[in-house]
Amino acid sequence: MAKEEMLEFEGTVTEVLPDGNFRVKLDNDHEILAYAAGKMRKHRIRTIAGDRVTVEMSPYDLERGRINFRHRTGGPTPAPGQRRAGAGNFRRR
């Protein structure tokens, strides 16, 4: 039995829900429930309301999807060597 192709859509995160779920409004005006893909969780890519994302959906369930890419915004990015405030409360040796 062959695996079905995933459908890809772009949309905007409208709401961050508990347990890593997100409410996403797609460009075709449908609203779905989506979760962050494993690689996004592994690399701690944060997604907040208002972010543009790419969502993969199964052709069998068009109400749920997986966020597999967060598009970059035009906002400022920290310098490569710059550290976050409060990050790394560990002692260096």
> Per-residue pLDDT tens for 25-69?
999 999 999 999 989 889 998 999 999 999 999 999 999 999 999
Q: Which two tokens stand for residue 31?
A: 């609203």
Say what the pTM is: 0.73
- pLDDT at residue 75, as a whole number: 59
Task: Break the chain into its structural domains and give their ranges.
Answer: 7-66
Q: Does residue 81 surpass a pLDDT of 70?
A: no
67-72 CB contacts, 8 Å cutoff, 24+ apart: 67/13, 67/22, 67/24, 67/34, 67/35, 67/36, 67/37, 67/40, 68/37, 68/39, 68/40, 70/40, 70/45, 71/10
Rounded Cα–Cα distance for residues 37 and 68 (Å): 5
Give per-residue pLDDT as tens, 3-37.
Answer: 778 999 999 999 999 888 999 999 999 999 999 99
Helices (H), the chain: 38-42
Fold classification of 7-66 (topology level):
OB fold (Dihydrolipoamide Acetyltransferase, E2P) (2.40.50)
